[in-house]
Structure 1
Amino acid sequence: MDTSSLSQSEILRLNNDFAEWNNSYLTVIDSVEKVNAEFKLPLKNHTVLLIVCIKGSLEVGYDMSSVELVPRSIMVLLPGHLIRKYHPSDDFEGFMISSSIANLANMLPLMSRILVCSLHYKENPTIQLDEEEFLNQVLFRDLLKHKLARSKDHFDLLVINKLCEGIFCETLNNYSKRIHGAINAQCSRGDALFYKFIVEIENSFKQERSVSYYADKLCVSPKHLSAVVKDVSGRTAGEWIDYYVVNEIKRLLTSTDLSIQEISCKLHFVNQSFFGKYFKSHVGMSPRDFRNKTLLPGF
């Protein structure tokens, strides 16, 4: 997470029931009924967009489809959709959170859920919450509104970001519970293999970085695994492995006081020199330079 952007955040009070908060990777809007007045539609979505309906109804038109959100329903739109319409009822109440892929990628343990949910709900991105799930969303929203109403220091902004992450975590849990056990029955073999591959990466990427290791675990050839992963996701198997490793290195550099040598050992690199070259080849700077660049000013 690039925490330097937090100091550039802005709160825009447009009226008593609408607030927008945004920085370079996260936007919060309370009362989606104002979106039509503030954003020109149609709009190509480049973020992960979450909409929660608390009261009334909201019709959302995207691509060639249209869905109606009713109380206790939520909608998640992934990047690439063309949003054509927001049509709220007069009594609509809800909220929207928009997050960049890069920001959500910081939550590595949840990445497989993001992927499998996106595969399973590409055609119908809405679900209906039960009472407990809905109350959890409302509690998060109320905490968020309380924080948004305060003056913003570094700690307030960090809490706002974590509350938004909590809402996304809660939402991903809601989605994943509904597709547990259905992945093999309702998606293609390629999608199922890709999902299993991601799960294996999450279990082993700190120790293993070779495509052949994961192919052996999944009882397929490295060539077949690479072809399927590329076809389903647009990335090669090796790129997905590197993606997890690099993001874990970034996390350890920015959120722990482990030395470069300790991080290298923790992720089972043969030596610190190779570790540094690996990181620089993917990020464009050394681990030390990356850590220094992303330190929060004043800490």
Structure 2
Amino acid sequence: MSVLEKFGVEIFTQHNIFERIATDKPFRPDNPAFIFIKTGSIRLRQHFRDLELSANMFMVTDPQTVYEMISVSEDFQSRMVSYKRDFISTLSLKFNRLITYRYFRQQMNIGVPFQADEMEVVWKSVNFLKYILDSETEMTYKKEIVEHLFSVFCYQMAGIISKEDSSAMNQMSRQEEIVFIFLNDLALHHQKERSVEFYAERQFVTTRHLSAVVKEVTGKSAGQVIALIVMNEAKVLLNSSSKPVSEISSMLGFSDLYSFSHFFKKHSGESPSQYRNQFES
């Protein structure tokens, strides 16, 4: 049983992260996580733009999003706090609302900065939690200790996020709200629905209005964002599983293999099989 399965939370260093994530290979995390950058920098691609993270920054990742590591500096030092959703569900709604809001704002921004002293405090909390998790010493109440230490970490983050977003909290514009709902709907339904009409109808807006708003906020039309999300999903399935291309085609809601291959080649310039071959040893 893994640490994550046993305790509901696990801490990874930059070394663990690179063992799991390869450059230029799209991936989807298994669980939500906080990623903190102490030194150096990393550039990730998520959704429709690149996200640059440098020293004293953090980001929130989610299993609904596909990411791709573009580059990383040699002096990169990081911690990733990965956790099970049900482990955090007992925390206050205020905290979860803050994280949801920050996750959306992150889509539109370059990164989330920390004050250096704030990063130092959080870094020490995360390292101590990792020390307890990794310890082989018998602890009668180890699970309870982990739960309390993780709660301390969460409240630290809630306080920092709340302060940073105090002027913007609950002031999401109508356009941002439309894009936020669109991205969430897309994460849930992209394997079966690829039409702009479907997502527009869910918000009772016209396809023209949805596309215009998405274009203004993200720089891409609704149709382009849908195609990008489907392509990212296809790439993850092709490079991380041995499922036949025909099965992946069916999983993504395509009527047949030809339609999927045509779609994939149109948006990538190569066939699904050609893309998969580059990851085979």
Q: TM tier, shorter chain?
A: 0.5 to 0.7
Distance in 2 of aligned mates of 1:25 and 1:191: 35
Q: CA deviation at 1:129?
A: 0.7
Residue 144 of structure 1 corresponds to 129
**Alignment-mate amino acid for residue 19 of structure 2:** A
1:41-73 CA-to-partner distances (Å, cap 9, x unmatched) read 422235322100112222223233222222211
The runs of at least 4 aligned residues of structure 1 exceeding 4 Å deviation read: 189-192
**Alignment-mate amino acid for residue 116 of structure 2:** E
- Please give the root-mean-square deviation of Cα atoms over the aligned residues, in Å: 3.3
* Counterpart among 148, 153, 174 of residue 162 in structure 1: 148
**Aligned pair in 2 of structure 1 residues 53, 103: CA closer, same or farther (>3 Å)?**
same
**Aligned pair in 2 of structure 1 residues 86, 28: CA closer, same or farther (>3 Å)?**
farther
**Alignment-mate amino acid for residue 183 of structure 1:** M
Distance in 2 of aligned mates of 1:184 and 1:164: 26
Count how many residue pairs are aligned between Structure 1 and Structure 2: 178
Note if 1:173 corresponds to 2:159.
Answer: yes
Residue 61 of structure 2 corresponds to 77
Q: State the structure with bigger RCO (CA 8 A, min sep 6), 1 or 2.
A: 2
Residue 173 of structure 2 corresponds to 187
Q: CA deviation at 1:117?
A: 2.7
Note if 1:92 corresponds to 2:71.
Answer: no
Residue 226 of structure 2 corresponds to none
Paired residue secondary structure (1:91) = coil
Distance in 1 of aligned mates of 2:127 and 2:176: 41
Distance in 1 of aligned mates of 2:10 and 2:76: 17
1:196-216 CA-to-partner distances (Å, cap 9, x unmatched) read xxxxxxxxxxxxxxxxxxxxx
Structure 2: gaps of 5 or more residues = 179-201, 205-281
Q: CA deviation at 1:95?
A: 0.6
**Aligned pair in 2 of structure 1 residues 34, 146: CA closer, same or farther (>3 Å)?**
closer
Residue 215 of structure 2 corresponds to none
Structure 1: gaps of 5 or more residues = 1-7, 11-20, 193-229, 233-299
Distance in 2 of aligned mates of 1:25 and 1:231: 39
Distance in 1 of aligned mates of 2:74 and 2:88: 33
Q: Is the 8 A contact 1:55 1:93 kept in 2?
A: yes
Query: Percent of counterpart pairs with the same letter?
Result: 15
TM-score by length of 1: 0.50
Note if 1:108 corresponds to 2:113.
Answer: no
Paired residue secondary structure (2:43) = strand
Paired residue secondary structure (1:43) = coil
Distance in 1 of aligned mates of 2:56 and 2:176: 33
**Aligned pair in 2 of structure 1 residues 115, 62: CA closer, same or farther (>3 Å)?**
closer
Distance in 1 of aligned mates of 2:20 and 2:29: 15
TM-score by length of 2: 0.53
Note if 1:62 corresponds to 2:59.
Answer: no
* Counterpart among 79, 92, 106 of residue 121 in structure 1: 106
**Aligned pair in 2 of structure 1 residues 71, 24: CA closer, same or farther (>3 Å)?**
same
Residue 238 of structure 2 corresponds to none
1:124-160 CA-to-partner distances (Å, cap 9, x unmatched) read 3731111331121122023123313422545223322
